[in-house]
Structure 1
Amino acid sequence: MTRRNWKALQPISLRHAFELCKDHARERLNKSVEGIAEDMGLADHWVLYKYLQKGSMPANLIRPYELACGIDFVTRYLAASNGRLLVQIATGRKLAHADIVELHEHFATALKLLTEYYAKPGDPSAALAALTTHMEHVAWHRQNVAQHVNPQLDLQS
């Protein structure tokens, strides 16, 4: 079984975003739904199951849910569904070779899926997800170059 590339995934619906967050918590943080609910401060984990089943959650619980899961797919979906693109705040850090390789990988994937879509139009979700991921990474690199003159402390590890 191959590991998912969590940076390249894009949710296609709100419910899918909730599922991806839950899957990330399970696969990367070894957390169950009960563990996520506990980290969110919910008294009963069945409430979280209800939110996941319906694909709806009160807005004041979205951020605690994402923090408990360790990833922000719900926020990304909400922004993308409104035609917005989220870019992680760049700190102006020096680039690693893996960063450039990853940028090339995202571009190649986006270009491949875009070419396939135009050659044989069908479901655009894969091409849209790849293009969104690539644009986010390019925007991050743009901001990182702009911020490189005044680098910030890397407080997130």
Structure 2
Amino acid sequence: MDRNWNSFIPIDAASSIRGCLGKARDKNNKSVEGVADLMAATHHDLYKWQANGRMPAILIPAFEYACGASFLSEWLALKSGRLVINVPVGRNANAQDVNKLQSLLTDAVSQILKFADGQTDATTAVAAIHAGMAGLAWHKVNIEKHSQPELALGGDE
């Protein structure tokens, strides 16, 4: 299944690892074995870490680089009460950027109302709020950097 990985928010360590491996498969055509080779681990280790949500911290950067996703680092930051955003480069926002922000904020308010009515769980509501806050923070930093834009060198914003 090819999913929208831009809206994926991990709920625990195991789902973070599964998410990284899923994005590696869907977007970068990398198997578990391929990711393991790139990080000098065995595929047995990756399957074990995926099942129990426990990976040596020293291997997280190599794992995320091999997968092309940083869901495990994002989950760790979120678990510590931190907000993680992609660093903007100071470019003008386009209509698609603003529409995405509006969608994130609408979903956050919707999830808050659903939680208040007992129609959704706290994890889902918090994930939606986190996504909306991250979207706002990205636009804030992007506007602050607008007068001194950076070069986008080979990475996603």
Q: Under a length normalisation based on structure 2, what TM-score does the superposition of the two structures give?
A: 0.92
| Alpha-carbon offset, residue 147 of structure 1 | 0.4
Give the aligned partner of residue 24 of structure 2: 25
Q: Please tell me the residue identity of whatever aligns with 2:12.
A: S
Distance, in Å, in 2 between the alignment partners of 1:127 and 1:75 is 20
| Alpha-carbon offset, residue 54 of structure 1 | 2.3
Q: Please tell me the residue identity of whatever aligns with 2:129.
A: L
Residue identity over aligned pairs, in percent, reads 35
What is the aligned residue count? 155
| Alpha-carbon offset, residue 121 of structure 1 | 5.9
Q: Please tell me the residue identity of whatever aligns with 1:5.
A: N
| Alpha-carbon offset, residue 135 of structure 1 | 0.6
Distance, in Å, in 2 between the alignment partners of 1:4 and 1:106 is 17
Give the aligned partner of residue 47 of structure 1: 45
Match of 2:44, SS state, is helix
Match of 2:33, SS state, is helix
5+ residue gaps, structure 1: none
| Alpha-carbon offset, residue 29 of structure 1 | 1.4
Give the aligned partner of residue 130 of structure 1: 128
**Displaced runs of 4 or more, over 3 A:** none
Q: Please tell me the residue identity of whatever aligns with 1:92.
A: G
Give the aligned partner of residue 146 of structure 2: 148
Give the aligned partner of residue 10 of structure 1: 9
Give the alignment's Cα RMSD to 1 decimal: 1.5
CA contact (8 A) 1:12 1:125 kept: yes
| Alpha-carbon offset, residue 25 of structure 1 | 1.1
Distance, in Å, in 2 between the alignment partners of 1:117 and 1:18 is 27
- Return the structure number with greater relative CO, CA threshold 8 A, min gap 6: 1
CA contact (8 A) 1:8 1:130 kept: no
| Alpha-carbon offset, residue 92 of structure 1 | 0.2
CA contact (8 A) 2:111 2:120 kept: no
Q: Please tell me the residue identity of whatever aligns with 2:35.
A: I
Q: Under a length normalisation based on structure 1, what TM-score does the superposition of the two structures give?
A: 0.92
Q: Please tell me the residue identity of whatever aligns with 1:131.
A: I
Distance, in Å, in 2 between the alignment partners of 1:54 and 1:124 is 23
Deviations along 1:56-103, one digit per CA (max 9) or x if unpaired, are 111111011111111111001000111111122111012222101111
